[in-house]
Structure 1
Amino acid sequence: MAIGNIYLISAIAVIGGGLFGFDISSMSAILPIQPYRCYFNQQGRDARGNCLGPRSDVQGGITASMAGGSWLGALVSGILTDKVGRKKAIMIGSIIWIIGSVISAASQNIAMLIVGRVINGFCVGICSAQVPVYISELCPPRLRGRLVGAQQWAITWGILIMFYISYGCSFLKGNAAFRIPWGLQAIPAVILLVGMLFLPESPRWLARKDRWEECKSVLVLVLGKGDPHSSLVAEEYAEIQAYCEFERQNADVSWMELFRPGMLNRTHIGVFTQIWSQLTGMNVMMYYITYVFTMAGLTGNNLLISSSIQYIINVLMTIPALLFVDRLGRRPVLLAGALLMATWQFANAGLLASYGHPAPPGGVDGIPEASWQIAGPPSKAVIACTYLFVASFAPTWGPVSWIYPPELFPLRVRGKAVALATSANWAFNFALGYFVPPAFVNIQWKTYLVFGVFCVAMFVHVFFLFPETAGKPLEEVEEMFLEGVPAWKTGVGLKGGHSGRAAAKLEKLGKVGGDGHGDGVESSPERLESAAVGKV
Structure 2
Amino acid sequence: MEPIQDSISPPQSTMSAEKSDMAAGEHVAERPGLAGASPEVHVDAAVQIAHETQEGQYSPWTKSMFRLYGILIIAYLGGALNGYDGSLMGGLNGMKSYMNYFNKETVDQSTGIIFAMYNIGSVAAVFFTGPTNDYLGRRWGMFIGSLIVIIGTCIQAPTKTAGQFLAGRFVLGFGVSFVCVSAPTYVSEMAHPAWRGTITGVYNCTWYVGSIIASWTVYGCSYIEHDGGWRIPIWIQMVTSGIICVGVFFIPESPRWLMANDKHEQAAKILATYHGEGSMDHPIVQLQLKEMAQQIRTDASDKKWWDYSELWNTHSARRRLICVLGMAVFGQVSGNSLSSYYMTALLENAGIDDEKKVLALNAINPILCFGAALAGARMTDVVGRRPLLIYSIIFCSFCFAIITGTSKLATEDASNEAAANTTIAFIYIFGIVFSFGWTPLQSMYIAETLNTATRAKGTAVGNFASAVASTIIQYSSGPAFLNIKYYFYIVFIFWDLFEAVFIYFFFPETKDRTLEELEEVFSAPNPVKKSLEKRSAQTVLNTMNVDEKLAGCDTCRARKIRCNGNTPCASCSASQQECTYGSEANSRGKSDLILEGVLRVEKFLHEMKATIVSPAASSFHFSPNPSHDGVFKGAPPFADSRPAVVSPALRSASRGSFSGSPLNEIHHPQRTPISEPLYQNNYENAVLDSMHTSTTESILQWPHFEAFPSMKDDYVSIFHLEQSRPAVKTRSTVMYPYVTTEEIDGIIESFELTINFWYPTMSCGQLAQVRKLISDGIPEEDSILVCLALLTMALGCAGQVTAGLTTGTTLSEEERKRRLARRAMGDMYFDSVLKKLHVVHTNVGSTATHCLFFTAMYFAFLRRPLQAWEYINAASAKCLLLLSYSPESESEEDQERIRRIFWSCYILESDYLAELNGLPQSGIARIESSTALPGQYNTHRDSKVEEKSSLYFLACISMRRLLNRVHQLLYARDTGTALDHTRFPYVVAELNHQLDEWRDVLPAAFKFEVGFNHIGNQSTPTEHGGFLRQRYLTCRSVIYRPYLMWMLSGRAGRGEANSELLINQDSLNNCKACLDACLLHILNLRGFGQTVLVDTWICSLSMAGAMLVLLAACRIPQLKDMIPSDILGAGDHLKQLLQSWQSVMGDPTSPSVDQSIRMISDADRFIQEVYHAGDSFSMRRR
Task: Settle same-fold status: TM greater than 0.5.
Answer: yes
Please give the residue correspondences for 1:331-350 in structure 2 after superposition, counting only pairs within 5 Å. Answer: 331-350=386-405
The worse-fitting range, judged by mean Cα deviation, of 84-93 and 73-82 is: 73-82
1:30 aligns with 2:83: no
The worse-fitting range, judged by mean Cα deviation, of 167-176 and 137-146 is: 137-146
Shift in Å, 1:479:
4.1
| 2:470 paired residue number | 429
TM-score, normalised on structure 1? 0.84
**Separation in 2, partners of 1:449, 1:421:** 26
Q: Residue deviations 1:254-280, cap 9 Å, x none?
A: 312322351223211221111011111
TM-score, normalised on structure 2? 0.39
Structure with greater proportional helix content: 1
| 1:385 paired residue number | 426
Q: Are the counterparts in 2 of residues 342 and 451 from structure 1 also a CA contact under 8 Å?
A: yes
1:357 aligns with 2:412: yes
**Separation in 2, partners of 1:496, 1:232:** 16
Q: Are the counterparts in 2 of residues 64 and 430 from structure 1 also a CA contact under 8 Å?
A: yes
| 2:1006 paired residue number | none
**Separation in 2, partners of 1:355, 1:324:** 36
The worse-fitting range, judged by mean Cα deviation, of 287-296 and 94-103 is: 287-296
Shift in Å, 1:177:
0.7
The structure with the largest alpha-carbon Rg is: 2
The worse-fitting range, judged by mean Cα deviation, of 274-283 and 254-263 is: 254-263
Q: 2:155 aligns with which of 86, 103, 106?
A: 103
Q: Are the counterparts in 2 of residues 296 and 375 from structure 1 also a CA contact under 8 Å?
A: no
| 2:337 paired residue number | 283
Q: Residue deviations 1:363-389, cap 9 Å, x none?
A: xxxxxxxxxx68421111110110110
| 2:170 paired residue number | 118
| 2:1043 paired residue number | none
**Separation in 1, partners of 2:415, 2:249:** 52
**Separation in 2, partners of 1:305, 1:53:** 20
Shift in Å, 1:352:
2.4
Distance verdict in 2 for CA 1:473–1:135, change over 3 Å = closer
**Separation in 2, partners of 1:418, 1:249:** 15
**Separation in 1, partners of 2:483, 2:468:** 23
1:506 aligns with 2:544: yes
Shift in Å, 1:456:
0.9
Q: Are the counterparts in 2 of residues 472 and 494 from structure 1 also a CA contact under 8 Å?
A: no
Letter in 2 for 1:72: A
1:62 aligns with 2:100: no
Q: 2:494 aligns with which of 450, 453, 476?
A: 453
Please give the residue correspondences for 1:93-492 in structure 2 after superposition, counting only pairs within 5 Å. Answer: 93-226=145-278, 233=285, 236-248=288-300, 254-262=307-315, 263-298=317-352, 299-357=354-412, 375-473=416-514, 477-485=518-526, 487=528, 489=529
**Separation in 1, partners of 2:488, 2:151:** 35
**Separation in 2, partners of 1:292, 1:250:** 44
**Separation in 2, partners of 1:84, 1:374:** 60
User: Percent same amino acid at aligned positions?
Assistant: 27
Distance verdict in 2 for CA 1:147–1:274, change over 3 Å = same
**Separation in 2, partners of 1:471, 1:206:** 24
Q: Are the counterparts in 2 of residues 297 and 374 from structure 1 also a CA contact under 8 Å?
A: no
The worse-fitting range, judged by mean Cα deviation, of 253-262 and 304-313 is: 253-262
Shift in Å, 1:286:
0.5
**Separation in 2, partners of 1:58, 1:374:** 32
Q: Are the counterparts in 1 of residues 97 and 226 from structure 2 also a CA contact under 8 Å?
A: yes
DSSP-derived class of the 1:131 partner: helix
DSSP-derived class of the 2:131 partner: helix
**Which ranges in structure 1 are unaligned for 5 or more consecutive residues?**
42-51, 359-372, 511-524, 527-536
Q: Which one scores higher on RCO, CA 8 angstroms, separation ≥ 6?
A: 1
**Separation in 2, partners of 1:93, 1:19:** 11
| 2:1156 paired residue number | none
Q: Are the counterparts in 1 of residues 121 and 170 from structure 2 also a CA contact under 8 Å?
A: yes
The worse-fitting range, judged by mean Cα deviation, of 465-474 and 55-64 is: 465-474
Letter in 2 for 1:413: T
Q: Are the counterparts in 2 of residues 96 and 120 from structure 1 also a CA contact under 8 Å?
A: yes
Shift in Å, 1:215:
3.2
| 1:8 paired residue number | 70
Shift in Å, 1:349:
1.2
Distance verdict in 2 for CA 1:257–1:232, change over 3 Å = closer
**Separation in 2, partners of 1:197, 1:493:** 42
Q: Residue deviations 1:396-453, cap 9 Å, x none?
A: 1111122212222333222222221222111111111111111100111111111112
Distance verdict in 2 for CA 1:2–1:138, change over 3 Å = farther
Shift in Å, 1:73:
2.8
Q: Are the counterparts in 1 of residues 260 and 302 from structure 2 also a CA contact under 8 Å?
A: no
Q: Are the counterparts in 2 of residues 330 and 470 from structure 1 also a CA contact under 8 Å?
A: yes
Q: Are the counterparts in 1 of residues 372 and 435 from structure 2 also a CA contact under 8 Å?
A: yes
Shift in Å, 1:96:
0.7
**Separation in 2, partners of 1:425, 1:122:** 14
Q: Are the counterparts in 2 of residues 22 and 185 from structure 1 also a CA contact under 8 Å?
A: yes
**Which ranges in structure 2 are unaligned for 5 or more consecutive residues?**
5-63, 549-587, 590-1182
Shift in Å, 1:354:
4.4
Q: Are the counterparts in 1 of residues 122 and 464 from structure 2 also a CA contact under 8 Å?
A: yes
Shift in Å, 1:227:
5.3
| 1:521 paired residue number | none
DSSP-derived class of the 2:363 partner: helix
Q: Are the counterparts in 2 of residues 101 and 183 from structure 1 also a CA contact under 8 Å?
A: yes
Q: Are the counterparts in 1 of residues 392 and 438 from structure 2 also a CA contact under 8 Å?
A: yes
**Separation in 2, partners of 1:490, 1:310:** 39
The worse-fitting range, judged by mean Cα deviation, of 252-261 and 302-311 is: 252-261
| 1:519 paired residue number | none
Letter in 1 for 2:511: A
Distance verdict in 2 for CA 1:251–1:120, change over 3 Å = closer
1:494 aligns with 2:534: yes
Q: Are the counterparts in 2 of residues 470 and 492 from structure 1 also a CA contact under 8 Å?
A: no
